[in-house]
Each structure stands twice: as C-alpha cells, then as structure tokens.
Amino acid sequence: MLSRRTRPLAHALTAAALLIPLAACSSDSGSGSDDPAGRAGASAAGFPYTVTNCGEKTTFDAPPKRAVTMNQHVTEILLALGLEDRVAGTAYLDDKILPQYEKAYESRPVLAKEYPSYEKLLAANPDFVYGGYASAFAAGDGRSRDALAKSGIKSRLNIEGCAKKAVTMDDLYREVREAGATFGVRDRAEKWIRGAEAELAAAAKKPAEAGKSGASGASGKPGESGEPPAVFVYDSGDKTAFTAGGRGIGNDIIERAGGRNIMSDLDKSFGDASWETVVDRRPDVIVIYDYGATTVDQKKKRLLDDPALKDVPAIKNKRFAVLPLSDVVLGVRAPGAVRKLAEQLR
C-alpha cells in the first residue's frame, strides 16, 4: 500500500519520486464579494472566474456545489472556509481532523480510507475534485485531471503538489484565496488570511526572544552561540532518511520557527538523504513527523539505537521535536506549526 507521497504509510522504507513539477499561477475576474449560498449562473458574484492551476486553465461559471476532497490538508481548507455544505465526500486522512472542524467533517461522507477508485469517485456525483498531492490524480488509477474533465468534472491540485520553486506562506495565502474565489467566498478567505498573518507575526517574536536569551551548553539545548539550531526532519526510512527538502512549506516553517533545515539544498518537498549526510551536517535538533502506523517512540528508538548517529549532537543530547504530518504541508495548519515548532526549539 503506497502513501500519497509515494512511501508505504506504515514503514516508509523505499525511495520516493515526489511531487510532479509544473508551473502554478492564477488570474481571476469578477468582484471580491462573498457568495456563501453558491448561487448558480451569471448571478453569482465574482463569476465567471478563471484560474490557472498547475498548468491547467479552468473557468468556473458558478461555484462548485458537490466537491470531493482527497487528502486532509485540502479537506481542512474547505472546512476552514465554512464550505462543508458543498463537500459531497472526502478521502485520505493523515491524522485526526482539527477539533474545530470535527463536527463539520463528521457530517460529510468518507468515500475511502485512502484514495477512492475512479468508479467510487464518480458515484459521489462531484462537479469538482480537490487533490492535496499529485498522487490524488494518478493517471494509472484512472483519476487523472484529464479523465475527470472528460466526465465534466473540474479539479484543482494544491500548489505544493506542482511547485517548481520553494513554497512559502505566501503560496498558502494564494491557495486559500484561489479556493475562496472558486467557491465564491473570497471574503471568508481574506478573513482567514488576516488571522494567519497575525498568528505568524506573534510566532515570529518567539525565536527572536529565544535567540536573545540563548541556551546553556550544559542543558544540551542549541542556541548558545545565537546561531539558528540546525534541524533535521525525520519522516521515515531505514537505509536512507526520508526527510523534508527545501521546496516544501516544511522548510519555511522551520526557518520561521528559528531553525535551519540541514537539508534545504534538497530540491524537493520530500526526498531521501543518506545517513552519512545527516552525520556530516550535525543537526542540533531532530524533528519527527508523526503519522501512520510507526509511532514517534519507535522512530526515536530507531534513531537513538543507530551506532552511526551516536556522535550527532541531537542524538547525544536527545533533542527531539514532533509535528503531525498534516501540520507541515500546504494547508491551514501551517501557521500554527510555526508556533508549535518555535516552542520546541527554544
């Protein structure tokens, strides 16, 4: 069973080719007014709306009424915009839905634990499909965007899934804006963005305060020199380390939290690194991504028991931080992840 990021979900041991790179840009027309009722036809404010997403140009004459979301972070984007009444089905969670969206999520049908078959997807009668990872639209599984279009179904891929350059919070704002415009709820999108900007501004003060105070060398905490702590992300892996590269939002989260991703030169959102590279780059802190059947404690044990890592500062000092996988992809959790990580790096 392969995960949406092309790793086995339970053990994640094989190498991954990830995130098909395509250009992502947007243009839109119409007013910026909110249209929560999703009125059909030319009477809907802000329509027709045209957007170019991951190389595909789509015009919406009216907001979608029956959306299917595949992957947790895009499901939560629509729930954050109050669009549960437009969601005809969901699929593929990494962990629990955020508490504030639980009631809305539980009111929606779950089509599959992972990705639904093309037939099951069509049975939900969607007019729009929103995928979080490129694997959501795997041609080999019959769910390509072209196949959906031939069935009269419009689609969107989260822009982290096709990015050619490093993804940042600005891309998250664009993702939310474009989702809001697609569904005719631009005002809601802008309100969410203002809240995210305020949350990030508050979180930015924390690393600065920690840098001023420093950390005691005897405590085993990084930061006594005032330099950002060197951070290594351990997602999974045995023969190689599956980690966060420099292209994904995870890299931006680390930097905003006051750290330095030792694998920022890996030109992918996620990818494999050799253990020799990890040893050579001497991380001060290891951030463990929590998801799937392998627990955080099991991941820690694997790292602590590896004799090749015994001289790595993070291992010697047992300096670990933990973030859920759903926090570190391009979705509404990313601003909060900055605060969570900043608190753990201090």
Phi, psi (rounded to 5 degrees) for 269: -75, -45
The whole model's pTM is what?
Answer: 0.85
> pLDDT band at residue 44, thresholds of 50, 70 and 90?
confident
Longest dimension (CA), the chain: 67
Torsion angle of alpha carbons 47, 121, 93, 163, nearest 10°?
-50
Say if CB 99 and CB 90 are below 8 A apart.
no
DSSP conformation class of 162: G
Task: Say which residue, 260 or 1, is predicted with more confidence.
Answer: 260
pLDDT per residue over 293-319, tens digit each? 999 999 999 999 999 999 999 999 999
> pLDDT band at residue 33, thresholds of 50, 70 and 90?
very low
Distance CA 33, CA 46 (A): 7
pLDDT per residue over 72-130, tens digit each? 999 999 999 999 999 999 999 988 999 999 999 999 999 999 999 999 999 999 999 99
Residue among 183, 231, 187 at smallest CA distance from 338: 231
Specify whether domain 41-193 bears CATH 3.40.50.1980: yes
Q: Where in the chain is the domain with CATH 3.40.50.1980?
A: 41-193, 210-345
- Above 50 in pLDDT, residue 25? no
Say if CB 195 and CB 172 are below 8 A apart.
no
pLDDT per residue over 120-148, tens digit each? 999 999 999 999 999 999 999 999 999 99
Instruction: Give the 3-state secondary structure of 239-272.
Output: CCEEEECCCCHHHHHHHHCCCEECCCCCCCCEEE
CATH ID of 210-345, from 3.40.50.11400, 2.40.50.140, 3.40.50.1980, 3.40.630.40 = 3.40.50.1980
pLDDT value at residue 24: 37
Task: Say which residue, 312 or 26, is predicted with more confidence.
Answer: 312
Torsion sign (Cα): 240, 246, 248, 249: positive
Instruction: Output the CA angle 12-322-213, nearest 5 degrees.
Output: 145
- Above 70 in pLDDT, residue 159? yes
- Above 90 in pLDDT, residue 329? yes
Residue 152 CB contacts under 8 Å (≥ 6 apart), including other chains: 127
Helices (H), the chain: 72-80, 102-106, 118-123, 145-150, 169-182, 186-213, 249-256, 275-281, 296-304, 313-316, 334-345
Say if CB 42 and CB 69 are below 8 A apart.
no
Helix, strand, coil % in the chain, rounded to nearest 5: 40, 20, 45
Residue among 187, 328, 331 at smallest CA distance from 261: 328
> pLDDT band at residue 204, thresholds of 50, 70 and 90?
confident
DSSP conformation class of 129: E
pLDDT value at residue 22: 32
Phi, psi (rounded to 5 degrees) for 280: -65, -35
